[in-house]
Amino acid sequence: MDTIEKIKTQISENPILLYMKGSPKFPSCGFSAQASQALMNCGEPFAFVDILQNPEIRAELPKYADWPTFPQLWVDGELVGGCDIIMEMFQQGELKPLIAETAAKYPKPE
């Protein structure tokens, strides 16, 4: 599977997906820390991909997404945006309903 196929699979299999540097518990940059914190505050589980551990994704995703920076939040197969957009949505009360609505569409397996 090539890198673009891998990215498409990750996005399709994870309704809430954050491409970030590091992990939510141990972010490797301030922007990833802010984005993952905002997502954690929404109270729903989300998937993440550490692009530092996946250099091929780090190289290819910006071209695929037409978005040059990380983190990148994907919700329901659509690119939401990066740290500034995530934080703005969080502060305006738009992120939590989006995340909750998406999580509700994909019930967790029992």
Q: What's the burial of 66, exposed, middle or buried (CB within 10 Å: 0-12/13-18/19+)?
A: exposed
User: What are the distances in angstroms from CA 34 to CA 24, 26, 29, 42, 78?
Assistant: 9, 12, 9, 13, 20
Tell me if 26 is assigned to a ligand binding site.
Answer: no
Tell me if 25 is assigned to a ligand binding site.
Answer: no
Tell me if 96 is assigned to a ligand binding site.
Answer: no
* CA 24/CA 26 separation, integer angstroms: 6
Tell me if 70 is assigned to a ligand binding site.
Answer: yes
Tell me if 21 is assigned to a ligand binding site.
Answer: yes
Annotated binding-site residues for glutathione read 21, 58, 70, 83-84
Annotated binding-site residues for [2Fe-2S] cluster read 29
Annotated binding-site residues read 21, 29, 58, 70, 83-84
